[in-house]
Amino acid sequence: MDINFNKDVYCLIGNPIAKSLSPIINNSYYKIIGKNNIYLAFNVKEKDLADVINVFKILNIKGFNVTLPHKISIMEHLDSISDEAKILGAVNTVKNKNGRLIGYNTDGMGFLKSLELEDVGVKDKTVLVLGAGGAANAISISLAKEGVKKIIISNRTLSKAKILAEKISRKFPKVTSEYDSLKLKNVRKEKIDIIVNCTSVGMHPNIDESPINLHGFSENLIIYDIIYKPRRTKLMELAEKKGYYTINGLSMLINQALCSQEIWLEVEDYNFLKNYKEIKRILEIYVE
């Protein structure tokens, strides 16, 4: 790497961050586009968050990503927050614009971008979202904004599914929203076009588990599992056996990073697809 004084510094803060793929994605991106920037990852304890933000301002760090456990607490340190991040109540990207810190959330944007790159349209579709945590929130809200017909939230803890379904109805009255448990007893499975798994079921080390069984769905079903480690989850394995089209979480992971870069660099990346494919090729070496 060419180290000189012209580098803009970007970074990730979270705890833990040791296994994060963000430095690989973002530094690969800078290399591909020929930018003399650098992206680092810092382990930040909750008690140190305010001090770290202050130092970032003093050092003129141009932007940073925020991951667990700071996605909510970061908001009190920012000067303004995008509408999308406000609805989600969580920030994963901060831009330092002349000393003012602006918060965004690119999880939903990255998810939608990944669908666009896969040529999967969501308008007027019925989508079953598994999970009701942070990722399910971002993805459901982005799907509602994009004009899906119906969203069904299905979660182990029913009360959380209800809260998210009610939030969707409140913010997007044109979208029908329902909720159920992961047993899906009240769901008309044959009407579902897309399933998005936003639970952590199937992730390392529980790689032999699937959040739902796949009986009773239509033959044109698309299954998107946002888990990226392993690249092929049990749910995807079951789906492929049935001949369903599947997408894994690497695509969303890379696209939310590229969306952060567009915010930081303030340019639309005209080679988005080419750059995405190149980063995906690099990442696949790191993720089995």
Q: Tokens 């994060």, residue?
A: 20
| Sequence-ordered alpha helix ranges (H) in the chain | 22-33, 49-59, 83-88, 107-117, 134-145, 158-171, 234-241, 250-265, 272-286
**Shortest CB 57 distance to ligand NAP, Å:** 27
> β-strands 63-66, 93-97: how paired?
antiparallel
Q: Is 114 in the site for ligand NAP (CB under 6 A)?
A: no
- Cα 102 to the chain's mean position, in Å? 19
Ligand-binding annotation for 231, yes or no, is no
Q: Do 280 and 251 contact (CB within 8 A), yes or no?
A: yes
Nearer to ligand NAP, 46 or 190 (CB): 46
Binding site annotation covers 54? no
d(CA 82, CA 232): 34
- Residue 99 CB neighbours (<10 A): 9
Nearer to ligand NAP by Cβ, of 96 and 251: the residue is: 251
Instruction: Give the x-and-dash track for 55-94 against ligand NAP (CB under 6 A).
Output: ----------------------------------------
User: Which residues are identified as catalytic?
Assistant: 71
- Segment contacting ligand NAP by CB under 6 A, of 3-11, 42-50, 133-141, 271-279: 133-141
Residue 201 binds ligand NAP, judged by CB under 6 A:
yes
- List the interface residues with ligand NAP, window 235-254 (CB under 6 A): 249, 252-253
Phi and psi at 247, nearest 5°, equal -135, 140
Q: Which stretch binds ligand NAP (CB under 6 A): 43-51, 183-191, 223-231, 268-276?
A: 223-231
Binding site for ligand NAP (CB under 6 A): 107, 131-136, 155-157, 160, 198-201, 203, 211, 226-228, 249, 252-253, 256
